[in-house]
Amino acid sequence: MKLTPVPITLSRCAKTFQGTRVLEPLDLAIGAGETIVLLGPSGCGKTTTLRIIAGLETPDAGGTVSFGDDDVTRLPIERRQVGMVFQSYALFPNLNVRENIGYGLKIAKVEPAKARRRVDELLAMMRLEAHGDKPIDQLSGGQRQRVALARALAREPRVLLLDEPLTALDARLRDTLRREMNALLRGLNVTTVYVTHDQAEAMELGDRIVVMSAGRIEQVGTPREIYYRPASRHVAQFVGTINRLAGQWRDGALATAGGTIRLPPALVPAAGSELFFRPEDARLVEPAAASLVGTVEGISFLGERTRVTVSGAAADTLVIDAPGRIELTRGQAVGIDVAPEGLIALA
């Protein structure tokens, strides 16, 4: 099968429904073969953006969508060469696996022998050879996911669009299928846009993540950039857990409830900024040796690590990830040592 991925360019794409702006003018460039994840809370405009790329919605006047050099803004979905997978997979329950995968080929009147070869190829690619003649309701969740992907790929799309394909599943299955999806998407040479509100999915699947909020893009970056260099408090708080060190700045030092943190001048944030850090970027130490001191409030043993909440060290309760073997008791005084490279200043 020959997939030829194209870059996608959205330029000034806005969307208004019945007089209400749900998407502010948005620019986004997606590389050929890249997997982009649109991440954000419900109602932020992810699906609308995906539907504009698909050709199921037209952007407001002035917005354009290009696939490579082709301006596809006015092209209907059936002429855009996109493959789509929805939350429910929308497989046909009365058709078997082969018929589901080959459905689009039949509609497009692809010659039967050629269609059969394509379906065989997709069955092999998705490790479904043994299941071609089975009805859909005899498949596991993971197998259904692969049928839905195979069907979306059957017509050799230039672009693959996935709208919350794992959301309807229970948590355990979702974890397994996320891993499978990762392997599948890495192996495909197709430009992919994946919509989710689940940050673990976004981190694992995206080459880059587009964090959206209230119809706007907040940040575009690799999962590491989004996690370690969030552009705003909203991004920092939406992706992973983060601690805020609120306090008074004086002479390059931050005075918090539990002590004073002195920073090298280069790390002192601009006026009005606050410092944040991730739970894994601090260590619990002897109180006497620490600049920040607080009291252990909660201890959650999670096996490979122990998640500890500490009060009194800053205005907010802090969350620290300690090694699994650490022994602590509630009410105990602890020192907190934050790694300088883990400090994030945000306005």
Cβ proximity to ligand ATP: between 39 and 282 the closer is 39
Parallel, antiparallel or unpaired: strands 243-245 and 274-277: antiparallel
State which residue has the least CB distance to ligand ATP: 47
Closest CA to 67 of 104, 27, 32: 32
**What is the rounded CA–CA span in Å between residue 205 and residue 166?**
12
Beta bridge partners of 284: 336
Nearer to ligand ATP, 36 or 44 (CB): 44
CB of 90 to ligand ATP, least distance (A): 15
Rounded to whole angstroms, how far apart are CA atoms 201 and 302?
21
Q: Cα(24)–Cα(44) distance, rounded to whole angstroms?
A: 10
Residue 242, CA distances (Å) to 33, 228, 233, 235, 237 in order:
32, 10, 10, 10, 6
With respect to ligand ATP, which residue has the nearer C-beta, 160 or 343? 160
Q: Which is nearer to ligand ATP, 178 or 244 (CB)?
A: 178
Site residues, ligand ATP (CB under 6 A): 17-18, 22, 40, 42-48, 197
Smallest distance from the beta carbon of 219 to ligand ATP, in angstroms? Answer: 16
Comparing CB distances to ligand ATP, the nearer of 16 and 94 is 16
In this structure, which amino acid lies at residue 141? G
Helix (H) or strand (E) holding 338: strand 333-338
CB of 47 to ligand ATP, least distance (A): 3
Residue closer to ligand ATP by CB (options 143, 167) is: 167
Q: Of 45 and 102, which CB lies nearer to ligand ATP in the complex structure?
A: 45
Q: Tell me how crowded residue 236 is: count the other CB atoms within 10 A of its CB.
A: 23
- Amino acid at residue number 333: A
User: Cβ of 101: how many Cβ atoms within 10 Å?
Assistant: 30
Query: What is d(CA 191, CA 211) in angstroms, rounded to the nearest whole number?
Result: 18
Closest approach of Cβ 110 to ligand ATP, in Å? 33
CB of 41 to ligand ATP, least distance (A): 7
Q: In what order do the strands lie in the sheet with 216-221?
A: 82-85, 159-163, 191-196, 35-39, 208-213, 216-221
Work out how close the CB of 264 gets to ligand ATP at its nearest, in angstroms, rounded to a whole number.
41
CB of 5 to ligand ATP, least distance (A): 24
23 vs 154 by CB, closer to ligand ATP: 23
Cβ distance 211 to 239 under 8 Å?
Answer: yes
The least CB distance from residue 84 to ligand ATP, in Å, is 14
CA atoms within 13 A on the CB side of 252: 6
CB of 249 to ligand ATP, least distance (A): 37
Q: Which of 191, 187, 203 is nearest to 162 (CA)?
A: 191
Q: What CA–CA distance (Å, rounded) separates 96 from 102?
A: 10
Q: Which is nearer to ligand ATP, 18 or 329 (CB)?
A: 18
